[in-house]
Structure 1
């Protein structure tokens, strides 16, 4: 299950919005644009909206999701995105929409005008069902249900596969080298294109300066050329990074070639490879691969559901597959790719996962599941013996709000109390040597400090040996000394505390003329 909250751009979404997401993707030069499709077939976009890539009809950014009206109720099932950025979207019925940057004809609508709204690509695709799309930096390719490949957009390196280097305004069928044979998978690097045939052969075309086409040389190709060094291997999946390529055989064997300046090939060094080389044999059978033309990172999942990553990981060059703690390939890109963009759209066919932590939060003070009642000042908190036993507490007498907050903390690791009650919880935390809880209380107190209560909080910090909090309160009181000295709380301080406070204030120069 993908954790959508690992993506920074989604961090402000309301829980009810997240639970309704079916498909999501993050793109843009800094991972600062996103599109989501909800379970009820509504499409929303948010982010900086560079080049009108959110499809909202304007170029205004938004931190809140805004509805992409022209795509709602269309059955959007997949996206691809270039680094302009431009965006492609496929519907369940196989229609193809495009919008965003169009300086190189990458929207396939016959013009170079920026697309502020999604537009249906009809040229040469009428009557054909598009089942997969891929984008390079400024070019696009599409795969139909008949196994045909169409390409358009920037073609300076031959990445459209038309036999020339002239930009292609509308989708054009790629036939050279492939002929009428059926393709089953496509992928794009920044300025290169790859396709897999139904017999497992691999073809590449476009820029080849780093050997990313796997042809044994560094010569650009304006027509598809077969990767002959994979003779006898049945390739099932293919993925392209910025300038490198990953290929997975039907036996779970992994191959890589192309640029390797960040170790993205996983060969243990940084030397480019112009032909496919088998890698990662030691990690076992691989079942899924992932890379993005936005960056230089590679990620795979093994048969045992272990995830490995290598390449440019948070700015570090990792030259051999390194096991990660994540559960999905998307999490690797969210946390380690630069920029953090989805390598492909995230499918959240949830059923939000009911995690242990979430279940425990719901169980706190729940009469229907509890097996223990704790009575405090005549009021009852419903808890669970097993949880209390695990967390190792010993019950003492405190006010209801304080003890109830402590029990909630044991279940949730969260504290919700006003500063005045947080003092009592600080006392409890100090008694139980709960350092983390003590820090929570100190944070609450700091955030709730006022002229009227600072003296009381200062005395409590001294009493409960919270030195950092004591210093914080002292500095606050010192900065508002005239007002604080006239408060009721200050007048209630014991004589020794006042003397010590005055002495410290004098050392800080509070009484100098």
Structure 2
């Protein structure tokens, strides 16, 4: 889903149809005919659609992503095309010529709008190397000075009156209003600029400049961008290496730095000391130093605050601290903008404490005007304890009455076999697998004698000890956080081999909490081989969400090479993570 100023869009699963509802001003709902729609009070122009309805024209495309600006929309199709509709103000639809468009008000200029979704083509003229955008009735592609034809758009983001588009190769295009450097272009790059002349206005001002033609952001070209986000007047871009670049208006510390020396300023706006701070901006994408050491996989811009998610699920926040939107609690002592002491802000990224203690990994965040939202992986309910821990611990650590000896081979780790003592009664009570082995037709030689010796292969001795700890206590031992993923993967394999279904479910929960960019592929591989379907679905959702970061990871590439099924699923299911998870759960059901 995506929300604009007074309207919303939703993307359906399956074919990818687009639904719209809310205010119908400036054609944002994609309906050419507004006859019969209700309107607010006595204002006939305040027409609205109260229930979600399909946006005409989008049903013939398979839409993968939707984005809303103040009063315009962009969507991305599976073929990499971009559809645009709504208000044409400040060139946000990529239209150089707005002649022939209907007008919402009495004037044509800034009230012109495009009522129907129209494909926008990105082209760079070969003769002049000047980018331009034209509306095309047929399928369009993105070509940059003869670049490969598969350089298609993968993601779009909308600000109030500007847009960013990211290609599959990690390049970023921008267009729309030039105000406060939101397009990330050099200040001396004046070609292609247009003025938005307001009704009755005769004098032009710089803040009405806009660029209707998508233009490559030069400062980001040395980097492979994995995700972009737009605020009302600022932007964030996340690279494939987890760095974050910020540019645009510096109000309330949204650029992540206390130092504003060297920032540009709109002199016409900065007429007083009180308004000077509101006019400062950074026109060039600049590395956000406050996130150094944090491998960011997703960032989200609100109007005056930002959120970022790291590869280990940590969430950081900075910008305006009003209304508790940063989730940091006490804000006394923070700086404030201008003369308004209530307009406090956090200039440097800080960890959101309330999300660092939850037992589910944060996979994505969203920032509104005055609030924030985090999406977590599903939290599974662990099996309840079924045996008194004190009795079980006593039996486990006292081998006096043990009548089963496991000889665990550590051949893969180069160690000698390890002897582990246990009790028949406990093994048979807690495990159907061991019950069959000790009493049924599958019992080892000597299973009917007073003492039994069983050889265990393909399971490390430390992993087998963890399995026995669970058999005796119904709990997993405390595992060091730094080694937990590797150990839990080994225990998952062991629980699958020994058919310990409750242990297998418990390990899935803990592994889901440790999902990160460095282990997601290995976790998926293990879950897939162990038929751990819930964990497999969670790992696949994580991989799909952060594919832009993972695709350059050698370990991930190795897993894909060894598992053609994973590579095939990624190629055929490159849809939104939410849709993929729903499809996966449907298959499980």
TM-score by length of 1: 0.52
Change (3 A) 1:72 1:349: farther
User: Which runs of 5 or more residues in structure 1 are unaligned?
Assistant: 1-24, 307-343, 355-513
The alignment partner of 2:245 has SS state of strand
Change (3 A) 1:147 1:348: closer
Asked whether 1:213 is paired with 2:188, we answer no
Change (3 A) 1:75 1:302: closer
The answer on whether the counterparts of 1:78 and 1:345 sit within 8 Å (CA) in structure 2 is no
What residue number does 2:72 align with? Answer: 86
What residue number does 1:295 align with? Answer: 369
Q: Deviations over 1:313-365 (max 9, x none)?
A: xxxxxxxxxxxxxxxxxxxxxxxxxxxxxxx99748757999xxxxxxxxxxx
The answer on whether the counterparts of 1:133 and 1:140 sit within 8 Å (CA) in structure 2 is yes
Asked whether 1:51 is paired with 2:125, we answer no
Asked whether 1:129 is paired with 2:152, we answer yes
The alignment partner of 2:79 has SS state of coil
* CA positional deviation for 1:98: 0.7
What residue number does 2:308 align with? Answer: 247
The alignment partner of 1:225 has SS state of strand
Change (3 A) 1:62 1:261: closer
The alignment partner of 1:55 has SS state of coil
Q: Distance in 2 between matches of 1:133 and 1:211?
A: 24
Asked whether 1:200 is paired with 2:242, we answer yes
Q: Distance in 2 between matches of 1:114 and 1:133?
A: 20
* CA positional deviation for 1:65: 5.1
What residue number does 1:260 align with? Answer: 321
Q: Deviations over 1:254-276 (max 9, x none)?
A: 21111111121111134411121
The answer on whether the counterparts of 2:15 and 2:62 sit within 8 Å (CA) in structure 1 is no
The alignment partner of 2:156 has SS state of strand
Q: Distance in 1 between matches of 2:84 and 2:227?
A: 20
Q: Distance in 1 between matches of 2:20 and 2:56?
A: 10
Q: Distance in 2 between matches of 1:36 and 1:227?
A: 32
The answer on whether the counterparts of 2:299 and 2:308 sit within 8 Å (CA) in structure 1 is yes
User: Which runs of 5 or more residues in structure 2 are unaligned?
Assistant: 36-47, 99-111, 124-141, 144-148, 188-206, 261-279, 335-344, 381-575
The alignment partner of 1:157 has SS state of helix
Q: Distance in 2 between matches of 1:44 and 1:285?
A: 31
Q: What does 1:458-497 align with in structure 2 at a 5 Å threshold? A: none
Change (3 A) 1:248 1:71: same
What residue number does 2:96 align with? Answer: 110
* CA positional deviation for 1:229: 1.9
Matched length? 291
Change (3 A) 1:262 1:350: same
The alignment partner of 1:295 has SS state of coil
Structure 1 window deviating more from structure 2 (150-159 vs 210-219): it is 210-219
The alignment partner of 2:57 has SS state of helix
Q: Deviations over 1:435-457 (max 9, x none)?
A: xxxxxxxxxxxxxxxxxxxxxxx
What residue number does 1:95 align with? Answer: 81
Change (3 A) 1:111 1:305: farther
Structure 1 window deviating more from structure 2 (59-68 vs 198-207): it is 59-68
Change (3 A) 1:143 1:263: same
What residue number does 1:433 align with? Answer: none
What residue number does 1:74 align with? Answer: 61
Larger gyration radius, structure 1 or structure 2: 1
Q: Deviations over 1:217-239 (max 9, x none)?
A: 35411110110122222111111
Change (3 A) 1:217 1:102: farther
What residue number does 1:431 align with? Answer: none
Q: Distance in 2 between matches of 1:352 and 1:267?
A: 35
Q: Distance in 1 between matches of 2:578 and 2:360?
A: 23
Q: Distance in 2 between matches of 1:29 and 1:301?
A: 23
The answer on whether the counterparts of 1:284 and 1:303 sit within 8 Å (CA) in structure 2 is no
TM-score by length of 2: 0.45
* CA positional deviation for 1:286: 4.0
